[in-house]
Amino acid sequence: MKINIGIEEDQRKAIAHGLSVLLADTYTLYLKTHNYHWNVTGPMFQTLHTLFETHYNELALAVDEIAERIRALGEFAPGSYKEYAKLTSIKEADTIPSAEDMIKDLVKGQEAIAKTARSIVPVADAASDEVTLDLLTQRMTVHEKNAWMLRSLVA
């Protein structure tokens, strides 16, 4: 059936593309955070192990919300490592860094997602897509707060 939600098709496609990038960034950070959760060592082990678990659980819920919004806009959500690798701005970790370097790397990832979300705002705003704007505001709030809290651990 044709989608008739008050957002033109070209606008829906543009918003969905931006959300696909956000989804790829979010999933990549989810994987990285989960990896660091498993492999963190050192005197801050318990604190970081627990914090990373909180973050990856939140990211797991976020990928579903983002993908469902893409679908509600009438587009298919990317769902493979290959697609995510093409879309994401977040680099995968290919080594196990120190705990402090894990924190610094995750700060970069959290900030990258906040910037990706912010870059979609003008497109969604131009389409009067309040649902996507609300989702983006929620994502920016979470990622900016997470980045601040992580930065505070290495200040």
- Report the SS3 class of residue 77: coil
- Mean pLDDT across the chain: 97
> What percent of the chain lies above the pLDDT cut of 90?
97
pLDDT at 38 (0 to 100):
96
124-142 confidence digits (pLDDT tens): 999 999 999 999 999 999 9
- The answer to whether residue 147 scores a pLDDT higher than 90 is yes
Two structure tokens written together for 85? 């690798």
C-beta separation of 12 from 76 below 8 A: no
Structure tokens at 65: 């919300």
Spatial CB neighbours of 38, under 8 Å, sequence gap ≥ 6: none
Task: State the amino acid at position 16 in one-letter form.
Answer: A
Q: Which two three-digit tokens encode residue 89?
A: 């701005």
pLDDT in tens, 107-119: 999 999 999 999 9
Q: How high is the pLDDT of residue 1? A: 86
Q: Please determine, for residue 55, whether its predicted confidence score (pLDDT) is greater than 90.
A: yes
Q: Considering the entire predicted model, what is its pTM? A: 0.96
pLDDT for 76 = 98
Q: Which two tokens stand for residue 96?
A: 């196990």
Please classify residue 130 by burial: count the beta carbons closer than 10 Å to its beta carbon, then call 0-12 exposed, 13-18 middle and 19+ buried: exposed
Can you tell me the mean pLDDT for 91-109?
95
- Please state, in angstroms and as integers, the Cα–Cα distance from residue 148 to each residue in 38, 75, 122, 155, following that order: 22, 33, 25, 10
- What is the average per-residue pLDDT within 60-83? 97
pLDDT band at 61 (very low <50, low <70, confident <90, very high): very high
Q: Which segments of 40-129 does DSSP mark as H helices, in order?
A: 45-72, 81-87, 99-126
Give the H or E element holding residue 32. helix 9-39
133 and 145 in contact (C-beta within 8 Å)? no
State residue 155's pLDDT score.
76
pLDDT at 87: 98
SS3 79: coil
Whether residue 5 is predicted with pLDDT greater than 80 in this model: the reply is yes
| Contact call for residues 34 and 56 (beta carbons, < 8 A) | yes
